[in-house]
Amino acid sequence: MTDYRDGVVVYWRPLCPFCIKLRLRLRLARLPRTEVNIWRDPDAAAYVRLVADGNETVPTVTVAGNAMVNPSMGQIREAVRRDAPHLLKRAR
């Protein structure tokens, strides 16, 4: 699996309404991120299970390597401010 420790990673799966909503909000905010479809990446699915008590709960988001399961946009923004402020230059 790729090392994403310094940025934002969104683990998602197709047809997940929570994923659709969060990915759209992140796009509109222009927050740089990597999006990983857990149905196409078995290592990513295993990582999500690891941080979500054995469940494939999505969206799961990491900011600078710190995982959040089903976070709000506010939680993501706060984590970026705290752990990856360099990403805010391109976001609005």
Residues 8-30: tens digit of each pLDDT: 999 999 999 999 999 999 999 99
2 domain residue, yes or no: no
More confidently predicted of 84 and 61: 61
How far out from the chain centre does Cα 86 lie?
Answer: 17
pTM listed for this prediction? 0.90
The CA distance from 49 to 92, in Å, is 31
Tokens for 84? 């990856």
Q: 47: domain CATH number?
A: 3.40.30.10
Structurally, the chain folds into a number of domains equal to: 1
